[in-house]
């Protein structure tokens, strides 16, 4: 037994400058772990509830800390996460806040790993994990809820599917990002950056497709392996009164949206499309997956919110062949792993993901390796993004 002996919660800054929750967990024999909650901007309607940081801390200090300290073994991640659910008493973590829950869950996992003297990915995944690395999906151009006056589509993602190692894939995405900067400059397009460090140029989606295609092809040719690309359309954010609203273009009906995405998949041979349709439209997702799911990944983020019940509905309806995994959408690492495993048992490919508001926390890099997720989406260049990417490079060196 290695009981948790202390939990400290505090407010720290996230990458947008907002307050978020950081947790520190200490165990009986000196194990220590620290975890911090990320925060989304284009959040799904069905996500677990993030409370204002101060309130989440107060509630967790009153309810969760006394139930964990001196009571639960830090190595037993299921027991930690079950306790968080019990004391919260709701099905969406609105009692203590999903931000407090996920920070404690991640800090306890790290304390457990420290206690065992194991890297976190191995504590999470077990002895036989650590030999499969995710392909990093790198946000290189974007707009939507992540940047003003930029593309309608939230994220254009470099996808180095042919990279021989995760290290080479990480560097490839950085090179694509740099190449896009040059292309924008050549075109005289002034480009700021969005919340995740992707270029946020004032151009239409069509031009962004062209530029990203050009950059991924060029860098892929230079490096000698395939770099495809993909999208996060975050379509729930565009969906108003039964139509997908595109600034500067005609709106699209659901049928037109499906046609548009299917055409773009084939025109650009895209590897991945996240949230192409509204977060409640399991049926439209299924129609699109039926059309193009044999040649690309159709991924549900806001559709599933890392929730096994929603994922089961998607499996039953054939809505997608991929799921995005965000631990803070559901509140604990155990719930996130359950979603990855339910997906894997049903041929659904997982992509473990950051949020647009992030911290230096690197847990998701370990989660992706420990759970053998085929993809990770965690940005390309900004410091809170490279924290995870650099951790993947270190993990690859260790195994
Ligand atoms: C990372 C994303 O953005 P956010 O964290 O704002 O939901 C996303 O939509 O996949
Ligand atoms: Mg998304």
Largest CA distance in the chain: 63
* Rounded Cα distance, 190 and 68, in Å: 51
Residue 128 lies in a domain: no
Contact 385 CB / ligand 1 (< 6 Å): no
What CATH number does the domain containing 197 carry? 3.20.20.120
Closest CA to 255 of 217, 284, 224: 284
Q: Determine whether 326 is an active site residue.
A: yes
Residue 9 lies in a domain: yes
Closest atom of ligand 1 to CA, residue 145: 6
The tokens for 372 are 């053998």
264 lies in the same domain as 384: yes
* Strand partners for 34: 24
Residues 329 and 357 in one domain: yes
User: What is the C-alpha to C-alpha distance for residues 390 and 337, in angstroms, rounded to an integer?
Assistant: 22
Task: Determine the Cα–Cα distance for residues 238 and 232; give it in Å rounded to an integer.
Answer: 12
Same domain, 74 and 161: no
Same domain, 47 and 183: no
Question: Does residue 60 sit within a domain?
Answer: yes
- The rounded average pLDDT for each run of 10 residues, N- to C-terminus, in the chain (399 residues) is 94 98 97 98 95 98 98 97 98 98 98 97 93 96 88 96 98 98 96 94 96 98 98 97 93 98 98 98 98 98 98 98 98 98 98 98 98 98 98 94
The alpha carbon of 306 and the centre of ligand 2 are apart by a number of angstroms equal to: 11
Asked if the structure places residue 237 within a domain, the reply is yes
Q: Binding site annotation covers 377? A: yes
Say if 233 falls within a structural domain. Answer: yes
- Other Cβ atoms less than 10 A from the Cβ of 342: the count is 17
In the beta sheet, which residues pair with residue 6? Answer: 26
Look up the CATH number of the domain holding residue 91: 3.30.390.10
User: Cβ-count burial of 88 within 10 angstroms (0-12 exposed, 13-18 middle, 19+ buried)?
Assistant: buried
Q: What pLDDT is attached to residue 130? A: 86
Residues 198, 335, single domain; the answer is yes
Q: Do residues 70 and 4 touch, judged by C-beta distance below 8 A? A: yes
Nearest to 110 by CA among 27, 38, 50, 28: 27
Domain boundary among 62, 88, 117: 117
Number of domains the chain is built from: 2
Ligand 2 centre from 28 Cα, in Å?
Answer: 39
Q: Are residues 151 and 78 in the same domain?
A: no
Cβ contact 50:97 at 8 Å: yes
pLDDT of residue 2: 86
Residues 201 and 342 in one domain: yes
- Of 117, 150, 165, which residue constitutes the final position of a domain? 117
With a 6 Å cutoff on the Cβ, whether 301 touches ligand 1 is yes
Q: Are residues 101 and 185 in the same domain?
A: no
Residue among 301, 305, 378 to mutate when testing ligand 1 (max atoms within 8 A of CB): 301
Q: Which residue has the tokens 């993030």?
A: 50
Are 328 and 184 within one domain? yes
Residue 130 belongs to a domain = no
**Structural domain contains residue 144:** yes
> What is the domain range of residue 91?
4-117
Q: How far is the CA of 302 from the centre of ligand 2 (A)?
A: 6
| End residue of a domain, out of 82, 117, 152 | 117
pLDDT at position 359, please? 98
How far apart, in whole angstroms, are the C-alpha atoms of residue 303 and residue 348? 14
Identify whether 126 is part of a domain: no
Same domain, 50 and 151: no
Could you tell me if 209 and 357 lie in one domain? yes
CB neighbour class for 181 (10 Å; exposed up to 12, middle 13-18, buried from 19): middle
Q: Is the CB of residue 43 below 6 angstroms from any atom belonging to ligand 1?
A: yes
């Amino acid at each position: 037994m290695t009981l948790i002996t202390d939990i400290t919660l505090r407010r720290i800054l996230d990458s947008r400058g907002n307050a978020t929750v950081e947790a520190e967990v200490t165990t009986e024999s000196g194990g220590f772990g620290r975890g911090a909650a990320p925060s989304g901007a284009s959040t799904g309607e069905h996500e677990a509830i993030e409370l204002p940081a101060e309130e989440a801390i107060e509630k967790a200090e009153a309810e969760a800390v006394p139930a964990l300290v001196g009571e639960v073994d830090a190595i037993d991640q299921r027991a930690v996460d079950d306790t968080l659910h019990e004391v919260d008493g709701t099905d969406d973590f609105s009692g203590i806040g999903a931000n407090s829950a996920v920070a404690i869950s991640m800090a306890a996992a790290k304390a457990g790993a420290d206690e065992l003297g194991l890297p976190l990915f191995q504590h999470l995944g077990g002895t036989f994990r650590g030999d499969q690395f995710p392909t990093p999906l790198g946000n290189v151009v974007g707009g939507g809820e992540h940047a003003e006056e930029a593309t309608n589509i939230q994220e254009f993602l470099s996808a180095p599917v042919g990279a021989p190692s995760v290290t080479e894939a990480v560097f490839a995405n950085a090179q694509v990002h740099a190449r896009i900067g040059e292309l924008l400059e050549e075109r005289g397009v002034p480009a700021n950056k969005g919340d995740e460090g992707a270029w946020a140029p004032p151009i239409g989606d069509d031009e962004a497709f062209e530029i990203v295609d050009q950059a991924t092809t060029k860098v892929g040719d230079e490096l000698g392996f395939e770099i495809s690309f993909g999208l996060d359309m975050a379509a729930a954010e565009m969906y108003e009164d039964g139509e997908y609203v595109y600034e500067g273009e005609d709106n699209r009906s659901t049928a037109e949206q499906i046609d548009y995405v299917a055409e773009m998949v084939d025109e650009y041979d895209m590897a991945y499309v996240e949230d192409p349709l509204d977060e409640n439209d399991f049926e439209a997702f299924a129609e699109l997956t039926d059309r193009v799911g044999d040649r690309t990944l159709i991924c549900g983020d806001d559709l599933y919110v890392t929730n096994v019940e929603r994922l089961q509905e998607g499996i039953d309806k054939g809505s997608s062949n991929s799921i995005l995994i965000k631990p803070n959408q559901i509140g604990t690492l155990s719930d996130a792993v359950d979603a990855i495993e339910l997906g894997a048992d049903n041929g659904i490919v997982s992509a473990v993901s950051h949020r647009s508001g992030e911290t230096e926390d690197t847990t998701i890099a370990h989660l992706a390796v420990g759970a053998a997720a085929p993809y990770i989406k965690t940005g390309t260049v900004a410091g809170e993004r490279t924290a995870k990417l650099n951790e993947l490079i270190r993990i690859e060196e260790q195994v």
